[in-house]
């Protein structure tokens, strides 16, 4: 059985943080310098009382409004997040109850980041293709802003919060092709919150190891080496050439990295989507958020590419025949 990406809906928090807002906090970090460095002007940030479950619920409500879907038709619910409301239980279970998904609906969390949408899409596609489910709801939601130290102007400038809801079904607009997935756990510490699990060592709330750390140079080096090869592998797997792809949608890491990759892989600007200027890096939501505005366009073949925390990577081609 074939699987299809049927619809994408988006939720953004109300609070919008501009480069000028950040520059006020760090006078030496001028707003023009922020845009020059990361290519971002605005990012949406969840308020102090807004968590992943709240954002996931809002994204699902938008999906209901935009598609008219009866949520009783959802057979399986996947929630991709690295900032769950609780360590136990899974946030997916909380959201299942709050939105009224059937008690016969499976509901699990996926702890994955920048490649999370591709990983989640691979699981959703497998559930539909195998006949286990007819309709899978894949939600991405992260609040990295809550894990950034208030003196970390770099990550504060880069990351934004968002949630998306995708419907994967046995019918729809984009047929989901074959996946290329990979992991190199030797780079696990390139993007990490060290004091965030069983082996947390510090009770000092202001300890930097309680907050997000990113080795930007290490992540860039990994991406520059691995992603061009990933593109080639996935094209071959799907029996396509680079010129057969009408639109490339990469994880929106930062504009410098995206333009570097586009030039290295030799993709024309009009076939390469960059739309993070007003959203920032929204982690697992960045790919569906970027693609949302193009979903109903005339794109025939779309390649989605995720990469980052883990270290992990993934690519898939969507076919609009």
67 and 47 together in one domain: yes
Euclidean distance between CA atoms 79 and 56, whole angstroms: 8
Which tokens hold the place of 280?
Answer: 């920032």
104 and 223 together in one domain: no
Give, for 316, the enclosing helix (H) or strand (E). Answer: strand 312-319
- Average per-residue pLDDT for the chain: 89
How many CB atoms lie under 10 A from the CB of residue 32? 9
287 and 260 together in one domain: yes
Domain count, the chain: 2
From the candidates 19, 105, 114, 301, give the one annotated as an active-site residue.
Answer: 114
pLDDT of residue 170: 93
DSSP state, residue 84: -
Question: Looking at per-residue confidence, does 196 or 174 come out higher?
Answer: 174
Which residue is it, tokens 């202001």? 206
Final residue in a domain of this structure, among 173, 194, 211: 173
The residues facing 176 across adjacent strands are 318
Catalytic status, residue 204: no
Final residue in a domain of this structure, among 131, 148, 173: 173
Question: Looking at per-residue confidence, does 178 or 86 come out higher?
Answer: 178
98 and 186 together in one domain: no
Question: Looking at per-residue confidence, does 158 or 98 come out higher?
Answer: 98
217 and 250 together in one domain: yes
Q: What is the largest CA-CA distance in the chain?
A: 57
Which tokens hold the place of 288?
Answer: 């569906």
Which tokens hold the place of 64?
Answer: 């209901």
157 and 53 together in one domain: yes
Report the length, in residues, of the chain.
321
CATH number at residue 43: 3.40.47.10
Mutual orientation of helices 255-265 and 31-38 as an angle, nearest 10°?
30
257 and 274 together in one domain: yes
29 and 160 together in one domain: yes
pLDDT of residue 207: 65
Give, for 261, the enclosing helix (H) or strand (E). Answer: helix 255-265
186 and 135 together in one domain: no
Confidence of residue 191 (pLDDT cuts 50, 70, 90): low
- By mean pLDDT, which of 148-157, 235-244, 277-286 is the weakest? 148-157
- Residues whose CB is less than 8 angstroms from the CB of residue 203 and which lie 6 or more positions away in sequence, other chains included: none
Question: Looking at per-residue confidence, does 194 or 83 come out higher?
Answer: 83
165 and 190 together in one domain: no
Catalytic status, residue 251: yes
pLDDT of residue 215: 63
Confidence of residue 256 (pLDDT cuts 50, 70, 90): confident
- pLDDT over 70 at 213, yes or no: no
138 and 234 together in one domain: no
Helix (H, G, I), strand (E, B) or coil at 307: strand
Under a CB-based contact definition with an 8 Å cutoff, are residues 149 and 211 in contact?
yes
Euclidean distance between CA atoms 181 and 235, whole angstroms: 13
DSSP state, residue 147: G
Question: Looking at per-residue confidence, does 12 or 87 come out higher?
Answer: 12
Which tokens hold the place of 93?
Answer: 């279970």
Alpha helix (H) residue ranges in 142-278:
153-158, 216-237, 255-265
- pLDDT over 70 at 214, yes or no: no
182 and 158 together in one domain: no
pLDDT of residue 199: 64
Across 121-148, average pLDDT: 94
From the candidates 135, 234, 238, 281, give the one annotated as an active-site residue.
Answer: 281
Q: Is the dihedral of CA 275, 115, 155, 38 positive or negative?
A: negative
Across 76-99, average pLDDT: 94
Euclidean distance between CA atoms 296 and 290, whole angstroms: 13
Say if strands 301-308 and 42-45 run parallel, antiparallel, or are unpaired. unpaired
Mutual orientation of helices 216-237 and 255-265 as an angle, nearest 10°?
40
- By mean pLDDT, which of 6-15, 52-61, 209-218, 274-283 is the weakest? 209-218
Best-predicted range by mean pLDDT among 50-59, 142-151, 257-266, 299-308? 50-59
Output the pTM of the full model: 0.91
Domain residue limits at 291: 177-319
- pLDDT over 80 at 320, yes or no: yes
| % of the chain with per-residue pLDDT over 70 | 92
Which residue is it, tokens 């270290």? 311
From the candidates 7, 19, 251, 254, give the one annotated as an active-site residue.
Answer: 251
Final residue in a domain of this structure, among 158, 173, 188: 173
């Amino acid at each position: 059985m074939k699987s299809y990406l049927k619809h994408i809906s988006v939720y953004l928090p109300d609070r919008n943080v501009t480069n000028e807002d950040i520059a006020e906090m760090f006078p030496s970090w001028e707003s023009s310098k922020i845009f020059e460095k990361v290519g971002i002007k605005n990012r949406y940030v969840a308020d102090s009382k807004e968590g992943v479950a709240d954002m996931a619920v809002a994204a699902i409500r938008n999906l209901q409004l935009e598609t008219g879907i009866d949520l009783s038709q959802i057979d399986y619910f996947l929630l991709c997040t690295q900032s769950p409301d609780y360590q136990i239980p899974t946030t997916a279970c909380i959201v299942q109850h709050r939105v009224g998904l059937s008690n016969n609906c499976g509901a699990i969390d996926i702890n994955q980041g920048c490649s999370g949408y591709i990983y989640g899409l691979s699981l959703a596609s497998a559930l539909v293709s195998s006949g286990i489910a007819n309709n899978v709801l894949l939600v991405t939601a992260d609040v990295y802003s809550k894990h950034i130290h208030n003196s970390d102007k770099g990550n504060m400038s880069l990351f934004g919060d968002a949630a998306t809801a995708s419907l994967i079904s046995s019918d729809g607009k984009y047929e989901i092709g074959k996946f290329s997935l990979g992991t190199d756990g030797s780079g696990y510490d390139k993007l990490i919150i060290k004091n965030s699990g069983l082996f947390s060592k510090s009770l000092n709330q202001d300890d930097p190891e309680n907050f997000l750390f990113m080795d930007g140079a290490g992540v860039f080096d990994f991406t520059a080496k691995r992603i061009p090869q990933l593109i080639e592998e996935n094209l071959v797997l799907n029996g396509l050439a680079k010129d057969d792809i009408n639109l490339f949608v990469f994880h929106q890491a930062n504009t410098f990295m995206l333009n570097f990759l586009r030039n290295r892989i030799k993709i024309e600007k009009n076939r390469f989507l960059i739309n993070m200027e007003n959203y920032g890096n929204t982690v697992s939501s960045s790919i569906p958020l970027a693609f949302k505005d193009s979903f109903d366009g005339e794109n025939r073949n779309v390649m989605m590419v995720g990469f980052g925390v883990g270290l992990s990577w993934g690519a898939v081609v969507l076919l609009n025949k």
